[in-house]
Each structure stands twice: as C-alpha cells, then as structure tokens.
Amino acid sequence: MKKTLFTLVLAAFGFLAQAQKYESFGEKISDKDALPAKVLVEESGTLEKKNLKLEGEVESVCQMAGCWMKVKTADGKTVRVSFKDYGFFVPTDIAGRKVVFEGEPGTKVVSVEDQQTAAKKAGKTEEEISKITTPRTDIVFVANGVLVPKK
C-alpha cells in the first residue's frame, strides 16, 4: 500500500513539474518522446497522415495573432506549423525558443504564380522573380497541441 501511495505521489509531482515547465496550447500533450523536427526533412516522403510529436526551435510566428509558426528543421529549412481548425494560437514572442508540438505533417505544392506573388511582396527584383519557373513542394504541419517553455 505504501509503495502504491509513494508511486502516485511521485507521478503527481512529475505531472506538476511538467505543468510548471510549459505553457500548453490546444490539446494536452507531453514532452515525452518528442523527435527532433529535422525528421520532417529527412523523411518527408513517408510522413503523410502520421501523428508525430516533434521538438524544434521557433524561427518566426504570425505577429497578428500567433496563428502559425515556422520551426527550424534541417539544412536551414523551416516547416510552417498551423493549428488544428484554428482552435488555438501561440504567443507572438516565442521566436528562438524550443517548442514541442504534436499533430500531422503533410506537403503542399506552391505554384509558380504563388511563389512569384510572394517574391514581389517580399521586394525581390524582376530578375529574381523571373527565375521562379517550377512549382515547389513545402512540408507543412497541423498541430493539435503545442508546449511552450515558460520563461
């Protein structure tokens, strides 16, 4: 009986320690067994419709509402993380922090026209824009939960 009570108390303290370590957004998830976000690039062809829990550094966040974030993966690449059914948002000041997020990865084909439009909005030259001639496939992620470390 004492062992069971002791185990329950330890489990409760472990849960409280995690709850104090992170702010949680969306569905409740844990940081246990999170993979590095670089697996999205390394295995991009095999990830469709798999539920994954990843950890990575936030590069940028939507500054209007926190409705998406870009997380660094590998080789200077990023993955755009949106939130399931836009049911939650993250703080806009978390760039540079490591987060844990869980959900489904996927891919999105970006047309030449959309790439050129984005390049124009970014102030690229006509010469740079004219070099965009093929569609691009981006890795995307729809998270159902995010853990952000408390400051």
For the record, the structure tokens of 41 come out as 């690039």
The CATH number of the domain holding residue 78 is 2.40.50
Mean pLDDT of the chain: 85
- Say if residue 37's pLDDT is above 80: yes
Give the whole-angstrom CA distance, residue 54 versus residue 56.
Answer: 7
- Specify the pLDDT at position 39: 82
**Mean predicted confidence (pLDDT) in 29-45:** 83
Tally of domains within the chain: 1
- Say if residue 8's pLDDT is above 60: no
Rounded to two decimals, the pTM is 0.76
Give the whole-angstrom CA distance, residue 128 versus residue 121.
Answer: 13
For the record, the structure tokens of 11 come out as 């489990």
> Greater confidence, 10 or 24?
24
pLDDT-based confidence at residue 9 (cuts at 50, 70, 90): very low
- Specify the pLDDT at position 18: 47
Domain holding 27, by residue range, is 2-149
- Specify the pLDDT at position 45: 60
Sign of torsion over alpha carbons 70, 72, 76, 80: negative
- pLDDT digits 0-9 by tens, 92-142: 999 999 999 999 998 889 999 999 999 998 899 999 999 999 999 888 899
**Which of 11-15, 19-23, 57-61, 142-146 bottoms out in mean pLDDT, i.e. has the lowest?**
11-15
